[in-house]
Chains A and B, each alone.
Chain A
Amino acid sequence: MALPTYEEVIAKWDPVLGLEVHVELNTHSKMFCSCATEFGAEPNTQTCPVCLALPGALPVVNEKAIESTILIGLALNCKIAPYSRFARKNYFYPDMPKNFQISQYDEPICFDGFVDVEIETEEGTKQFRIEIERVHMEEDTGKSLHVGGATGRIHGADYSLLDYNRAGIPLVEIVTKIVPGTGKYAPEVAKSYVAELRDILRGLKVSDVKMEQGSLRCDANVSLKPIGSDVLGTRSETKNVNSLRSVERAIRGEMIRHAELLNDGKKVKQETRHFQEDTGLTRSGRSKEQAEDYRYFPDPDLVPVTPAAAWIEELRATLPERPSLRRKRIKEEWNVPDKEMEAMINADVLDIVEETVLLGADPTKARTWWLGEISRIANDKNVGVADLAITPADVAELVALVAAGELTDKLARQVVEGVIAGEGKPSEVVAKRGIKVVNDDGALMAAIEKVCAEQAETAEKVRGGHLPAAGALIGAVMKETKGQADAARVRELLLGHLGVS
């Protein structure tokens, strides 16, 4: 029997989602020791007695990680527990040095929050509220590399290599409540939720949120129930979903796979599945039919986490504007077209443009500079705009100079070059390089008279009403004044001189 189409699936079945997102925090040191956390370092160079679980070593909580987790909880509208504890999750696996993971169990630090996401549909914009069950802290495991055998799995491998650099990196797990009622939009809602989380986390500057490097990882739980039914179906949990597009594909794929089984009167197995990027399908992993007993108990090596209410309020006061709301506001306030907005977000210049605008620059001009000339130079140098030696204050000054008629756009580009080359602020570059607009009408008139005499034939055409010919004369005047003249003023004077104003 052929796989049902997506349309056939949603005609009969109602999907229920549950999403678990793991976020690696970008703290400089690990969750319970002072080892570095840099991505991609030589295997086992960022380890110590604590994260290798040498006999006698003890964990000590990274305060910065607690702060980051509280910030995340607050940004997700969660309540912050005045008292929470770390618990040990016991199971044996070679990449977990202690053979237990320090996590939080029945006392998470943040709970009961929500995130609203919007998706665009043929029926217009639709909003969905994703309720957050809990946000808790834990430590990452090391990495196993299985050599030999098929597809890098432990089964059939010749041997395995272990890298404990990642062991003990602070992880925050964000768990949703079950998400019902998304219907045919389920895959898209899930994708938008993860995208929204990513934006929020990036805005909080608590994580690199790079899905491809694993600093943001999503596990997607999917089940189907007949439309109109209140009884939840059996869920599968898909791991290894490493991009926003994969979130959407994985859920869509699982919905189809479940529907096929259910349509045939078969049962969905409760199990972990692994998403495969190449095929978009999932394959069976560990069976969860027999729930593993992790023997959770409060970690006796650590003391309870008891953040003071005043500190929580201090942190709440530092929360940045919610990224999606901010984008909406900026788009409206500055009247930015969709495409330009997207370009700014993709180029990651929204912050810097906003700073420039706050310093008094016109939003369109500010955007044009950062997205245009400055981005071009950054691309040439293969760096980000923020790494260049030009600041929002410089650009604001530049925009002001142009507006005052002291620079032309063309001259301003020379000034940008100078600022980036380290020659000083725009006004200093202007002074040092002797860049200035020729505003002296007398000097311009002299140049115009000279050009009209040299190109008498062309001047005659203009005088006779053939205006397009004026371009050549204006160009010649600009050349004569070494580009320091205001082209609009030149045109005005030239046409006056030739009596065709």
Chain B
Amino acid sequence: MIRKTAAQMADALAKGETTSVELTQAHLDRITAVDGQVKAFLHVDAEGALAQAKSVDTRRKSGEKLSPLAGIPLALKDVLAQKGVPTTAGSKILEGWCPPYDSTVVSKLKDAGVVIMGKTNMDEFAMGSSTENSGYGPTFNPWDLTRTPGGSSGGSAAAVSSFEAPLAIGSDTGGSIRQPAALTGIVGVRPTYGAVSRFGLIAYSSSLDQAGPFGRTVLDTALLHEVMAGHDPKDATSINAPVPAVVAAAKSGDVKGMKIGVIKQLQGEGYQKGVQARFDESLKELASLGAEIVEVDCPSFEYALAAYYLIAPSECSSNLARFDAMRYGLRTGDVNGASAEAVMSATRDAGFGREVKRRIILGTYALSSGYYDAYYGSAQKIRTLIIQDYAKAFTKADVLVSPTAPTTAYKIGEKVDDPMAMYLGDVATIPVNLAGICGMSLPAGLAEEDNLPVGFQIMAPAMQDHRLYQAGAALEAALLSKWGAPILDKAPALGGSK
């Protein structure tokens, strides 16, 4: 049962072949069996999940019309506030904090009857690309437990690829959904900025953060996308427009006549050989389906990484100022009449990890008077140039494509002492965030040299998220018929059972 797709599970629920309680229990059992190795979850809310499942079953029995994903279990990245459930954003500074309110995403999930099984591990405050920066230890890649699942939404990606959950939610500030999706062989979408409410999403970089769905198929991901998205008056940056028809697009999956633009700057040098090979192969598949492949030039992408590492740290230096021991979370050093300032300082020193401190310091420096124009100001100009590059490229192509990440999953510990090498892993995903557009990663096969998953990235203009699903579904179907079985069937067994 747990190896089915979410759409198949929903179908089984609708036909009465199973119940949400059974389905949820099966996934909770899987978590018990394998999460000791994978460590995808920070908190499993078995009791809450089963109660939610039971309530959906009761409603279904009474003949109530339910949303398509009602009763389907899901793993939630710990960056989203869920009322009464520990929410830490992977940080020790929030250990034990239970929000008194639901994020809008969680409210929407609850309204749709989706069963939230627990909170998944992540790089602290979503700062990182390997989940190694979590205050609670790393998550391990189900494909090879000595490797990272990527990050920052590594817990959510690992949960889906290890069949602990059919669906998961992540957040993507510089690639934190797409890159772990690529490294674990699943589908992940970063929706258009403003398409999914940020209310209740613990902020890393407000102008770049966006929550999005993970699934094992393009259709599953679309079903979750449709539940999460929509205008929210509680988020001033939320777009007041109808949600693009992503499910319909995922079902149609037609690329005949579609113009697909390959970004010159996001391939070749710096990309692992096996990654490039799978990418090229996928392009051929799309061409054989009737898509027109063109090359586009985005010269300012060269500066995207630099701009990102000024903007995101600048915003985070301010966003994370609220963690001051005064109202919630960790409080240390409150002894012998210590001043408020001393308590704040001691708490932030003890509660934040190295990468978080590094980015806060970077951002504080970049915003300082006298440096603002040179750093934050210049980065904003780069951002404008990247938006212009995309706009120009989208006049030539309906969607743009690239490998999602330059490499397959790397070893745990391999890059922790070399932040620059780690940052380079986001080179292909960051431009999407800077421009506020949408992007998807879906499996393109395994790299020949290491037998690890490779991600294929599709990008579309703002609020054209359905194009991702249309192209993604077409490629997915073509590759599936070529492979004969889903890619995850090739992953090694965990905990002795599949």
> For residue A100, which residues in chain B have a CB less than 8 angstroms away from its CB?
318, 321
Q: How far is the CA of A24 from the CA of B206 in the complex (A)?
A: 28
The answer to whether the Cβ of B484 comes within 8 Å of any Cβ in the partner chain is no
The answer to whether the Cβ of B326 comes within 8 Å of any Cβ in the partner chain is yes
Within 8 A of B (CB), among A407-448: none
The 3 closest A-B pairs by CB, nearest first: A99-B321, A300-B207, A300-B206
**Besides the known contacts A92-B321, A296-B367, 5 further A-B residue pairs in the complex with CB atoms under 8 A apart:** A54-B327, A55-B87, A55-B97, A293-B368, A295-B367
Decide: B206 and A54 in contact? CB cutoff 8 A: no
Checking B203, B318, B327, B364 against A88 with a beta-carbon cut-off of 8 angstroms, the contacting residue is B318
> For residue A227, which residues in chain B have a CB less than 8 angstroms away from its CB?
none
A58 to chain B, nearest CB (A): 5
Decide: B100 and A49 in contact? CB cutoff 8 A: yes
* A60-B233, A295-B369 known; A92 vs B324 contact (CB < 8 Å): yes
Decide: B207 and A56 in contact? CB cutoff 8 A: no
Decide: B327 and A97 in contact? CB cutoff 8 A: yes
Checking B89, B200, B323, B368 against A295 with a beta-carbon cut-off of 8 angstroms, the contacting residue is B368
> For residue A55, which residues in chain B have a CB less than 8 angstroms away from its CB?
81, 87, 89, 94, 97, 99, 202-203, 322-323, 328
Decide: A58 and B322 in contact? CB cutoff 8 A: no
Decide: B340 and A49 in contact? CB cutoff 8 A: no
Closest to A53 in B: B322
Q: How far is the CA of A358 from the CA of B198 in the complex (A)?
A: 54
The answer to whether the Cβ of B448 comes within 8 Å of any Cβ in the partner chain is no
Decide: B322 and A56 in contact? CB cutoff 8 A: no
Checking B200, B321, B324 against A56 with a beta-carbon cut-off of 8 angstroms, the contacting residue is B200
> For residue A296, which residues in chain B have a CB less than 8 angstroms away from its CB?
367
Q: Mark B94-107, 1 if CB is under 8 A from A, else 0.
A: 10010111010000
Decide: B318 and A56 in contact? CB cutoff 8 A: no
The answer to whether the Cβ of B80 comes within 8 Å of any Cβ in the partner chain is yes
Decide: B234 and A99 in contact? CB cutoff 8 A: no
Decide: A56 and B80 in contact? CB cutoff 8 A: yes
The answer to whether the Cβ of B45 comes within 8 Å of any Cβ in the partner chain is no
Closest to A95 in B: B326
> For residue B326, which residues in chain A have a CB less than 8 angstroms away from its CB?
94, 97, 162
Closest to B368 in A: A293
Within 8 A of A (CB), among B50-108: 80-81, 87, 89, 94, 97, 99-101, 103
Q: Mark A299-315, 1 if CB is under 8 A from B, else 0.
A: 01111000000000000
The answer to whether the Cβ of B456 comes within 8 Å of any Cβ in the partner chain is no
> For residue A303, which residues in chain B have a CB less than 8 angstroms away from its CB?
236-237
Decide: B199 and A58 in contact? CB cutoff 8 A: yes
The answer to whether the Cβ of A175 comes within 8 Å of any Cβ in the partner chain is no
Q: How far is the CA of A293 from the CA of B318 in the complex (A)?
A: 13
The answer to whether the Cβ of B136 comes within 8 Å of any Cβ in the partner chain is no
B113 to chain A, nearest CB (A): 23
Can you show 7 pairs from A to B with CB atoms below 8 A apart?
A54-B100, A58-B236, A61-B236, A94-B344, A160-B340, A296-B367, A301-B206
Q: Taking each of B97, B324, B344, which has the highest tally of chain A beta carbons within 10 Å of its own beta carbon?
A: B324
Q: How far is the CA of A49 from the CA of B89 in the complex (A)?
A: 17
Decide: A302 and B236 in contact? CB cutoff 8 A: yes
Q: Taking each of B81, B103, B201, B326, which has the highest tally of chain A beta carbons within 10 Å of its own beta carbon?
A: B326
Closest to A60 in B: B236
Decide: A57 and B367 in contact? CB cutoff 8 A: no
Q: Mark A269-286, 1 if CB is under 8 A from B, else 0.
A: 000000000000000000
B227 to chain A, nearest CB (A): 19
> For residue B318, which residues in chain A have a CB less than 8 angstroms away from its CB?
88, 90, 100, 295, 297
> For residue A16, which residues in chain B have a CB less than 8 angstroms away from its CB?
none
Name the prevailing secondary structure of the B interface residues: loop
The answer to whether the Cβ of A98 comes within 8 Å of any Cβ in the partner chain is yes
Within 8 A of A (CB), among B457-493: none
Closest to B80 in A: A56
> For residue B324, which residues in chain A have a CB less than 8 angstroms away from its CB?
92, 94, 99
The answer to whether the Cβ of A399 comes within 8 Å of any Cβ in the partner chain is no
The answer to whether the Cβ of A52 comes within 8 Å of any Cβ in the partner chain is yes
The answer to whether the Cβ of B376 comes within 8 Å of any Cβ in the partner chain is yes
Within 8 A of B (CB), among A30-64: 49, 52-61
Decide: A60 and B235 in contact? CB cutoff 8 A: yes
B490 to chain A, nearest CB (A): 38
Q: How far is the CA of A164 from the CA of B327 in the complex (A)?
A: 11
Q: Taking each of A53, A56, A301, which has the highest tally of chain B beta carbons within 10 Å of its own beta carbon?
A: A56
Range for the number of chain A residues in contact with chain B: 20 to 34
Decide: A99 and B322 in contact? CB cutoff 8 A: yes
Q: How far is the CA of A154 from the CA of B315 in the complex (A)?
A: 30
Closest to B208 in A: A300
Range for the number of chain B residues in contact with chain A: 35 or more
> For residue B344, which residues in chain A have a CB less than 8 angstroms away from its CB?
92, 94
Decide: B367 and A54 in contact? CB cutoff 8 A: no
The answer to whether the Cβ of B314 comes within 8 Å of any Cβ in the partner chain is yes
Closest to A86 in B: B236
Q: Mark B299-310, 1 if CB is under 8 A from A, else 0.
A: 000000000000
The answer to whether the Cβ of B372 comes within 8 Å of any Cβ in the partner chain is yes
> For residue A61, which residues in chain B have a CB less than 8 angstroms away from its CB?
236
Within 8 A of A (CB), among B272-326: 314-315, 317-318, 321-324, 326
Q: How far is the CA of A330 from the CA of B274 in the complex (A)?
A: 88
Decide: B101 and A301 in contact? CB cutoff 8 A: no
The answer to whether the Cβ of B269 comes within 8 Å of any Cβ in the partner chain is no
> For residue A52, which residues in chain B have a CB less than 8 angstroms away from its CB?
327
Q: How far is the CA of A295 from the CA of B80 in the complex (A)?
A: 28
> For residue B101, which residues in chain A have a CB less than 8 angstroms away from its CB?
49, 54, 57
> For residue A54, which residues in chain B have a CB less than 8 angstroms away from its CB?
81, 99-101, 327-328
Checking A60, A90, A92, A158 against B367 with a beta-carbon cut-off of 8 angstroms, the contacting residue is A90
Q: How far is the CA of A54 from the CA of B203 in the complex (A)?
A: 11
The answer to whether the Cβ of B418 comes within 8 Å of any Cβ in the partner chain is no
Decide: B100 and A58 in contact? CB cutoff 8 A: no
> For residue B315, which residues in chain A have a CB less than 8 angstroms away from its CB?
297, 300
Q: How far is the CA of A295 from the CA of B364 in the complex (A)?
A: 8
Q: How far is the CA of A257 from the CA of B237 in the complex (A)?
A: 50
* A55-B89, A295-B367 known; A98 vs B321 contact (CB < 8 Å): yes
> For residue B327, which residues in chain A have a CB less than 8 angstroms away from its CB?
52-54, 97
Within 8 A of B (CB), among A140-163: 154, 158, 160, 162
The answer to whether the Cβ of B449 comes within 8 Å of any Cβ in the partner chain is no
Closest to A50 in B: B234
Decide: A301 and B99 in contact? CB cutoff 8 A: no
A47 to chain B, nearest CB (A): 10
The answer to whether the Cβ of B341 comes within 8 Å of any Cβ in the partner chain is yes
B202 to chain A, nearest CB (A): 4
Decide: B340 and A94 in contact? CB cutoff 8 A: yes
> For residue A94, which residues in chain B have a CB less than 8 angstroms away from its CB?
324, 326, 340, 344
Closest to A303 in B: B236
> For residue B328, which residues in chain A have a CB less than 8 angstroms away from its CB?
54-55
Decide: B234 and A60 in contact? CB cutoff 8 A: yes
* A56-B199, A162-B326 known; A92 vs B341 contact (CB < 8 Å): yes
> For residue B81, which residues in chain A have a CB less than 8 angstroms away from its CB?
54-56
> For residue A92, which residues in chain B have a CB less than 8 angstroms away from its CB?
321, 324, 341, 344
Decide: B235 and A297 in contact? CB cutoff 8 A: no
> For residue A293, which residues in chain B have a CB less than 8 angstroms away from its CB?
368-369
Q: How far is the CA of A303 from the CA of B236 in the complex (A)?
A: 7
* A94-B324, A99-B322 known; A297 vs B200 contact (CB < 8 Å): no
> For residue B203, which residues in chain A have a CB less than 8 angstroms away from its CB?
55-56, 301
A157 to chain B, nearest CB (A): 10
Q: How far is the CA of A321 from the CA of B94 in the complex (A)?
A: 54
B26 to chain A, nearest CB (A): 31
B169 to chain A, nearest CB (A): 14
Q: How far is the CA of A296 from the CA of B372 in the complex (A)?
A: 9
> For residue B99, which residues in chain A have a CB less than 8 angstroms away from its CB?
49, 54-56
> For residue B199, which residues in chain A have a CB less than 8 angstroms away from its CB?
56-58
Q: How far is the CA of A296 from the CA of B370 in the complex (A)?
A: 12
> For residue B103, which residues in chain A have a CB less than 8 angstroms away from its CB?
56
A17 to chain B, nearest CB (A): 26
Q: How far is the CA of A99 from the CA of B318 in the complex (A)?
A: 8
> For residue A90, which residues in chain B have a CB less than 8 angstroms away from its CB?
317-318, 321, 367
